[in-house]
C-alpha cells in the first residue's frame, strides 16, 4: 500500500463526504420545517403558513445543529482519547504487568514501529464482551487504539494482530482522519435527536420538567382561567414532545445514512491490507467468523457507541437504522472477499484469561547449578549460551554499523505494511539499551530522555550522545504515549528547555533541531494546541521556492565533492520534472529549512511524496544514501505530517 496515494484518495473522499454532510443538514432543516407546518395544522401548499413558521424553525434548527458541531469539536480537541473515554475505556500504561494488557500494548508498539508512526495510546474497553476495536484521532500523532475485553480474551495472538493491522491500515491510509472529521458532522446531525430525547423526557407524567420543576400541585390550585391556561400548556407540551420525537427520528435517519456512506467501502480494503501483511487471509477471516459465532457479535453496549459506530472494526450497534443504513458490510461479504471458498460456518470462541508467558532463565550468563543435570548436559548448555551470545553480538554489530540505502528505493517511499519491514525494525529495537527503554515508561522519564537526546554529544547522559539517528527516532516513537500525558503548561515548559539545549551560539545540529520540530508538532497536535495543517497546495510551482531551500539544504549533507553535489542536484530536480534547474542556494539556514517544511506541510500527499523523493536524491551520493541522511529525510517526512516506514538497505522490488 502506498500511503501517499491512499491518503490523497481519502482526502478527496472527505471532500465528497463534507458536501454530503452539508446536504444532509439542509435536508434536516427542510424536513423539520415541514413537520412543524403539519403539526400546527397548516397545509403544505399554504405560503402564508410557511412564511410564519420558517421565521423560527430555520434559526432554531440551524442553531441546534451548530451547537452539536461545536460541542463535538471541543470534546474531540485532544484526538481519539475523547472517544475512548466516552466509550468507557481505560488507558493502559506502557509498562503494564497484566499479561493480557501487556500482550496488547506490545503488539500495538510493534506494529506502530513497523508502520513508521508514533506509538498510539492503547485503551481497553473492559465492560465489552464482544469482539471489536477502533482507531481514532486527528492524525497519527493523536491516534489511539481501542480494543474490547472480548477481543483480548477470545482472540489468539495472530488474530489480535490481524485486527490491529486492520486498524493501522485505516491510520496509514488516511481513513481514520477522514472518519474522525466526519464524526463532528455526524454528531451535529444527531444532536437534534439528542435534544429531542431530552425534551421528551422533560414532559414526563410527573411533570418534572427539563429544569427539575414540578407542576402537578400548581395545576391543582388553578381555577377558572388559570386552569384553561394550564390545560393549553399541557397540550402545547404534548405537541412539542411529538414534534421533537419526529425531529429526532429525522436527524437519526440522516445521521445513520452519513455514517454508512463514510465507512462501508473502506472496510474491504483494510481487511485485504491486513491479510496481505500477514501473507494469509486465515487470521482475518477467523476473527470475522468468531464475531459471527457470538450472540452479541461486535456490538458495543455503551450508549454512545452508535455515534462513533463508523470507527469500529465491526458493526457496533443493532437496530432499525443499522439494518437500513449499516456502517459496515455484512460479515458474510467480508469473509467471502478474503476467502471465496468459505462454506458459511462461524467459529465458537471462549473467553480465556491471558496467562503470563513463561520466561526461561537467561542462559547467556553464568550457568546455574542443577543437581539433576549431568556434566555433559551442563557443558552443552554452556556451549549453547556462548553461541547465542555470539549471535546477539553479531546482530547488534550489524544493526549499529553505518548503513547505506540504494537511492532507487526512494520509489518505494511510503510503501507500508510490508512483512520485511517488521524484521528490520525489530532488530533495531533490540539495539536500544534497557536504561533508555525504562525512561519511556514514565512522564518524567520521557522528558529527561528528550532533553538528553537534544544535548550535544559530549554532554548527554546515559550514553545517549552515542545513539544513532535511527535510534533517536525510534526512542521518540516509543516515548509518545507518555509524552501525550503531559499538561499543556508542562509541554510549553519542556519545549523551552529543549530549545535552550538545541539552539546554541557555537553551532546548531540539524538532526537535533529537526527532531525538536517533529516532537513539538506531534505533542502539540495530541494536546490540542496545534491544528493539523489543511491541504492548500497541490501543484509544485506553488511551493517551488520552499522546495529549492529543502533540496539545497540536503545537498550539503550528501555528496562530499562538488561534482557529486552537482549530480545529486540534477537528479533531484529531474525527479520533479525540471531538466535545467536553477543553481542551488548556498546560504540556506536551518530556520529557513524549518519554515520551508511548515509551508510544504500544507501540500497534498502526492506532492509531499515528490518533494521527499527529491530531498532523498539530493542527499544521495553515487546512488547511495547514508543512514544519517536517510534519517533526515524521514524527519522531514514526519515534519510534513506523513511519517513513512523504514526502507530496506537492499534493493527493493515490486511485489509479485
Per the structure block, which three cell numbers stand in for 500?
A: 535552550
278 — alpha (psi -120 to 50), left (phi > 0) or beta? alpha
> What pLDDT was estimated at residue 642?
85
Q: What is the pLDDT of residues 503-519, one digit of tens each?
A: 877 678 888 899 999 99
- Which of 509, 526, 543 represents a domain boundary (last residue)? 526
Task: Give kind and range of the element (H or E) at residue 510.
Answer: helix 510-526
CA 229 to chain centre: 56
- 426 and 518 in a common domain: yes
Q: Once rounded to an integer, what is the mean pLDDT over residues 279-284? A: 91
Tell me the whole-structure pTM to 2 decimals: 0.81
Per-residue confidence at 194, pLDDT binned at 50, 70, 90? Answer: low
Per-residue confidence at 358, pLDDT binned at 50, 70, 90? Answer: very low
The answer to whether position 433 is within a domain reads yes
Higher pLDDT, 228 or 88: 88
Q: Once rounded to an integer, what is the mean pLDDT over residues 163-169? A: 93
Per the structure block, which three cell numbers stand in for 333?
A: 461479504
Per the structure block, which three cell numbers stand in for 548?
A: 529549492
- 423 and 520 in a common domain: yes
> What pLDDT was estimated at residue 196?
58
Q: What is the pLDDT of residues 557-608, one digit of tens each?
A: 878 888 888 999 999 999 999 888 888 888 888 889 999 999 999 999 999 9
> What pLDDT was estimated at residue 204?
47
Question: 36-45, 248-257, 262-271, 586-595: which has the highest mean pLDDT?
Answer: 586-595
- At CA 630, angle to CA 629 and CA 636, rounded to 5? 90
Q: Once rounded to an integer, what is the mean pLDDT over residues 398-408? A: 72
Whether the Cβ atoms of residue 13 and residue 179 lie closer than 8 Å to each other: no
Per-residue confidence at 248, pLDDT binned at 50, 70, 90? Answer: low
Q: Is the pLDDT of residue 261 over 80?
A: no
Higher pLDDT, 560 or 168: 168
The answer to whether position 626 is within a domain reads yes
- 493 and 437 in a common domain: yes
The answer to whether position 184 is within a domain reads no
Residues recorded for the chain:
656
Q: What is the pLDDT of residues 298-326, one digit of tens each?
A: 999 888 787 788 889 988 877 655 666 67
The answer to whether position 580 is within a domain reads yes
> What pLDDT was estimated at residue 234?
45
Per-residue confidence at 388, pLDDT binned at 50, 70, 90? Answer: low
Catalytic site includes residue 539: no
DSSP assignment of 624-652: EEEHHHHHHHHHHHHHTT---PPPPSS--
d(CA 193, CA 211): 19
Q: Once rounded to an integer, what is the mean pLDDT over residues 352-378? A: 55
- Which of 484, 509, 526 represents a domain boundary (last residue)? 526
> What pLDDT was estimated at residue 400?
55
> What pLDDT was estimated at residue 241?
53
Measured torsion, CA atoms of residues 389, 393, 399, 402, in degrees rounded to the nearest 10: -170
Per-residue confidence at 522, pLDDT binned at 50, 70, 90? Answer: very high
Residue 146: φ, ψ to 5°: -115, 135
The answer to whether position 326 is within a domain reads no
pLDDT over 70 for what percent of the chain? 78
- Which of 472, 491, 526 represents a domain boundary (last residue)? 526
- 518 and 492 in a common domain: yes
Whether the Cβ atoms of residue 242 and residue 173 lie closer than 8 Å to each other: no
Higher pLDDT, 156 or 73: 156
Judged on CB neighbours under 10 Å (0-12, 13-18, 19+), 110 is: middle
Higher pLDDT, 574 or 48: 574
> What pLDDT was estimated at residue 488?
93
Cβ count within 10 A of residue 533: 17
Whether the Cβ atoms of residue 535 and residue 178 lie closer than 8 Å to each other: no
The answer to whether position 629 is within a domain reads yes
Q: Is the pLDDT of residue 362 over 50?
A: no
> What pLDDT was estimated at residue 395?
54
- 501 and 580 in a common domain: no
> What pLDDT was estimated at residue 469?
83
3-state secondary structure of 353: coil
- 475 and 439 in a common domain: yes
CA 231 to chain centre: 55
> What pLDDT was estimated at residue 212?
38
Per-residue confidence at 217, pLDDT binned at 50, 70, 90? Answer: very low
The residue segments making up the domain with residue 544 are 534-639
Whether the Cβ atoms of residue 192 and residue 252 lie closer than 8 Å to each other: no
- 521 and 441 in a common domain: yes
The answer to whether position 425 is within a domain reads yes
The answer to whether position 603 is within a domain reads yes
Most distant CA pair in the chain, distance: 109
Q: Once rounded to an integer, what is the mean pLDDT over residues 412-417? A: 77
- 564 and 485 in a common domain: no
Q: Is the pLDDT of residue 211 over 60?
A: no
> What pLDDT was estimated at residue 281?
92
Q: Which of 101, 109, 167, 629 is catalytic?
A: 167
Mean pLDDT of the chain: 80
> What pLDDT was estimated at residue 104?
95
If one counts the domains in the chain, the total is 2
Q: Is the pLDDT of residue 396 over 60?
A: no
Q: What is the pLDDT of residues 449-463, one digit of tens each?
A: 999 999 888 888 888
Q: Once rounded to an integer, what is the mean pLDDT over residues 30-48? A: 74
Higher pLDDT, 196 or 16: 16
- 542 and 503 in a common domain: no
- 612 and 515 in a common domain: no
Cell numbers 550539503: residue:
556
Q: What is the pLDDT of residues 116-158, one digit of tens each?
A: 889 999 999 998 999 999 999 888 888 999 999 999 999 999 9
- 561 and 512 in a common domain: no
- 514 and 429 in a common domain: yes
pLDDT over 90 for what percent of the chain? 32
> What pLDDT was estimated at residue 1?
74
Q: Is the pLDDT of residue 203 over 60?
A: no
Q: Is the pLDDT of residue 357 over 90?
A: no
Q: Once rounded to an integer, what is the mean pLDDT over residues 25-43? A: 75
DSSP assignment of 559-595: -SSHHHHHHHHHHHHHHTT-SSPPPPPS---HHHHHH
Amino acid at each position: 500500500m502506498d500511503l501517499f496515494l491512499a491518503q490523497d484518495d481519502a482526502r478527496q473522499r472527505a471532500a465528497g463526504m463534507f458536501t454530503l454532510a452539508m446536504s444532509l443538514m439542509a435536508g434536516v432543516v427542510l424536513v423539520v420545517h415541514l413537520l412543524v407546518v403539519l403539526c400546527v395544522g397548516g397545509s403544505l401548499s399554504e405560503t402564508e403558513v410557511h412564511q410564519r413558521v420558517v421565521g423560527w424553525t430555520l434559526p432554531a434548527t440551524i442553531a441546534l445543529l451548530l451547537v452539536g458541531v461545536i460541542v463535538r469539536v471541543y470534546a474531540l480537541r485532544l484526538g481519539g482519547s475523547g472517544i475512548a473515554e466516552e466509550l468507557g475505556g481505560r488507558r493502559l500504561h506502557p509498562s503494564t504487568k497484566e499479561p493480557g494488557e501487556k500482550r496488547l500494548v506490545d503488539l500495538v508498539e510493534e506494529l506502530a514501529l513497523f508502520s513508521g508512526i508514533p506509538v498510539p495510546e492503547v485503551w481497553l474497553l473492559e465492560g465489552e464482551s464482544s469482539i471489536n476495536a477502533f482507531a481514532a484521532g486527528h492524525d497519527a500523532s493523536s491516534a489511539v487504539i481501542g480494543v474490547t475485553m472480548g477481543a483480548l480474551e477470545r482472540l489468539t495472538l495472530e488474530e489480535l494482530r490481524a485486527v490491529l493491522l486492520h486498524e493501522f491500515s485505516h491510520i496509514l491510509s488516511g481513513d481514520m482522519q477522514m472518519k474522525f472529521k466526519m464524526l463532528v458532522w455526524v454528531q451535529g446531525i444527531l444532536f437534534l435527536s439528542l435534544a429531542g430525547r431530552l425534551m421528551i423526557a422533560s414532559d414526563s407524567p410527573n411533570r418534572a420538567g427539563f429544569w427539575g420543576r414540578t407542576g402537578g400541585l400548581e395545576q391543582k390550585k388553578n381555577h377558572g382561567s388559570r386552569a384553561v391556561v394550564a390545560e393549553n400548556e399541557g397540550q402545547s407540551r404534548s405537541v412539542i414532545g411529538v414534534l421533537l420525537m419526529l425531529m429526532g427520528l429525522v436527524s437519526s435517519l440522516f445521521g445513520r445514512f452519513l455514517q454508512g456512506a463514510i465507512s462501508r467501502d473502506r472496510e474491504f480494503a483494510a481487511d485485504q491490507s491486513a491479510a496481505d501483511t500477514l501473507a494469509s487471509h486465515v487470521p482475518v477471516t477467523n476473527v470475522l467468523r468468531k464475531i459471527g459465532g457470538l450472540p452479541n457479535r461486535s456490538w458495543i453496549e455503551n450508549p454512545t457507541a452508535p455515534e462513533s459506530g463508523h470507527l469500529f472494526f465491526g458493526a457496533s450497534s443493532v437496530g432499525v437504522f443499522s439494518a437500513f443504513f449499516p456502517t459496515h458490510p455484512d460479515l458474510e461479504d467480508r469473509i467471502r472477499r478474503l476467502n471465496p471458498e468459505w462454506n458459511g460456518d462461524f467459529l465458537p470462541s471462549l473467553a480465556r484469561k491471558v496467562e503470563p508467558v513463561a520466561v526461561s532463565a537467561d542462559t547467556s550468563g553464568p550457568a546455574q547449578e542443577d543437581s539433576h543435570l549431568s556434566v555433559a548436559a551442563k557443558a552443552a548448555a554452556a556451549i549453547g549460551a556462548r553461541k547465542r551470545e555470539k549471535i546477539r553480538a553479531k546482530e547488534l554489530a550489524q544493526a549499529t554499523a553505518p548503513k547505506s540505502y540504494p537511492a532507487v528505493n526512494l520509489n518505494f517511499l511510503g510503501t507500508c505494511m510490508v512483512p520485511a519491514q517488521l524484521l528490520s525494525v525489530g532488530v533495531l529495537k533490540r539495539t536500544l539499551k534497557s536504561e533508555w527503554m525504562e525512561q519511556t515508561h514514565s512522564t518524567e522519564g520521557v522528558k529527561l530522555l528528550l532533553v538528553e537526546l537534544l544535548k550535544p554529544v559530549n554532554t548527554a547522559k546515559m550514553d545517549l550522545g552515542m545513539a544513532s539517528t535511527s535510534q533517536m527516532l525510534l526512542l521518540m516513537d516509543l516515548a509518545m504515549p507518555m509524552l501525550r500525558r503531559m499538561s499543556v503548561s508542562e509541554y510549553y515548559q519542556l519545549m523551552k528547555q529543549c530549545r535552550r539545549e538545541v539552539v546554541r551560539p557555537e553551532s546548531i545540529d540539524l538532526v537535533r533541531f529537526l527532531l525538536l520540530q517533529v516532537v513539538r508538532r506531534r505533542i502539540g497536535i495530541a494536546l490540542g494546541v496545534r491544528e493539523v495543517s489543511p491541504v492548500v497546495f497541490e501543484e509544485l510551482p506553488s511551493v517551488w521556492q520552499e522546495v529549492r531551500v529543502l533540496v539545497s539544504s540536503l545537498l550539503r549533507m550528501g555528496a562530499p565533492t562538488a561534482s557529486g553535489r552537482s549530480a545529486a542536484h540534477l537528479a533531484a530536480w529531474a525527479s520533479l520534472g525540471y531538466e535545467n534547474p536553477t543553481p542551488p542556494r548556498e546560504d540556506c539556514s536551518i530556520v529557513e529549512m524549518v519554515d520551508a517544511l511548515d509551508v510544504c506541510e500544507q501540500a497534498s500527499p502526492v506532492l509531499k511524496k515528490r518533494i521527499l523523493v527529491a530531498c532523498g536524491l539530493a542527499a544521495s551520493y553515487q546512488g547511495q544514501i547514508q543512514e544519517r541522511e536517510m534519517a533526515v529525510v524521514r524527519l522531514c517526512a514526519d515534519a510534513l505530517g506523513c511519517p513513512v516506514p523504514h526502507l530496506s538497505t537492499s534493493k527493493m522490488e515490486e511485489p509479485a
